[in-house]
């Protein structure tokens, strides 16, 4: 009978729903006003990870080069699509280790800018060298990126979490490049990738000009 009454009198049912929604909204608002617990305030460690994570994505010179690695890997196809993003963090970490140990590396800024120019050009012209040459080129420039990260580790922060942060951020940038590079299967996608390579090259030229000036 009640069901029948609800069907007969829809106004009453809708009133009930409105009241329920109001109550739920009030409860939600109360919960949203609760302050954060901060039960385990390991601020130093968390900051170390976030600082490391932000480092590669806070400079366009790093972003362009690392996305270009992913784009180029996607253009080259298997096995380069996974070999290049594996090689880059490993060699980059070696560069970072040199930076941490205080081993000087001349022309780091030039190397980073040149990496964007050459990797962007490789994407723009769809260069397909042998896998070893591609891996060597990517690895060579990774040393410069890693050295810059290693020398800029802020004092007093967790080295482990800083390292993990910037390795993970670098990997995410490669993954972004590979993700964008999947459009290579379509004709318009191939043109789009070549255009993106041109943008990376132009960015690299800008960074080189800024390093020289």
Cβ atoms of 124 and 198 within 8 Å: the answer is: yes
150 binds other proteins (CB under 8 A): yes
Q: How far is the CB of 171 from other proteins (least distance, A)?
A: 6
Cβ atoms of 56 and 149 within 8 Å: the answer is: yes
Q: Mutual orientation of helices 108-124 and 60-76 as an angle, nearest 10°?
A: 40
User: Which of 54, 58, 82, 209 touches other proteins by CB under 8 A?
Assistant: 82
159 binds other proteins (CB under 8 A): yes
Q: Which residues have a Cβ under 8 Å from the Cβ of 137 and sit 6 or more positions away?
A: 118, 119, 122, 129
85 binds other proteins (CB under 8 A): yes
Residue 155: DSSP 8-state: T
Residue 156: DSSP 8-state: T
User: Which of 73, 99, 111, 120 touches other proteins by CB under 8 A?
Assistant: 99
State the chain's maximal CA–CA distance in angstroms.
Answer: 86
131 binds other proteins (CB under 8 A): no
Q: Given the complex with other proteins, which of 53 and 207 has the nearer CB atom?
A: 53
Q: Given the complex with other proteins, which of 150 and 177 has the nearer CB atom?
A: 150
User: Which of 7, 40, 43, 185 touches other proteins by CB under 8 A?
Assistant: 40
Find, among 143, 149, 163, 135, the residue nearest to 69 by Cα: 135
| Positions that interact with other proteins (CB under 8 A) | 5, 9, 12-13, 15-17, 19-20, 23-24, 26-27, 30, 37, 39-40, 42, 82, 85-86, 89-90, 92-94, 96-102, 150, 153, 159-161, 163-164, 167-168, 171
């Amino acid at each position: 009978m009640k069901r029948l009454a609800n069907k007969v009198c829809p106004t009453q049912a809708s009133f009930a729903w409105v009241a329920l929604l109001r109550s739920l909204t009030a409860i939600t608002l109360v919960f949203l006003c609760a302050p954060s617990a901060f039960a385990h305030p390991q601020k130093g460690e968390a900051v170390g990870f976030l600082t490391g994570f932000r480092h590669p994505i806070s400079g366009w010179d790093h972003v362009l080069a690392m996305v270009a690695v992913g784009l180029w890997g996607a253009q080259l196809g298997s096995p380069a699509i996974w070999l290049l993003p594996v090689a880059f963090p490993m060699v980059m970490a070696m560069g970072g280790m040199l930076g941490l140990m205080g081993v000087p590396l001349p022309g780091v800024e030039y190397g980073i800018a040149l990496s964007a120019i050459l990797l962007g050009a490789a994407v723009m012209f769809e260069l397909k060298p042998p896998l070893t040459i591609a891996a060597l080129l990517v690895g060579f420039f990774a040393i410069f990126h890693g050295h810059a990260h290693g020398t800029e580790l802020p004092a007093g922060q967790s080295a482990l979490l800083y390292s993990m942060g910037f390795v993970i951020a670098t990997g995410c940038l490669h993954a972004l490049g590979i993700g964008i590079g999947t459009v290579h299967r379509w004709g318009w996608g191939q043109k789009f990738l070549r255009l993106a390579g041109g943008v990376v090259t132009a960015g690299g030229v800008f960074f080189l000009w800024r390093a020289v000036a």
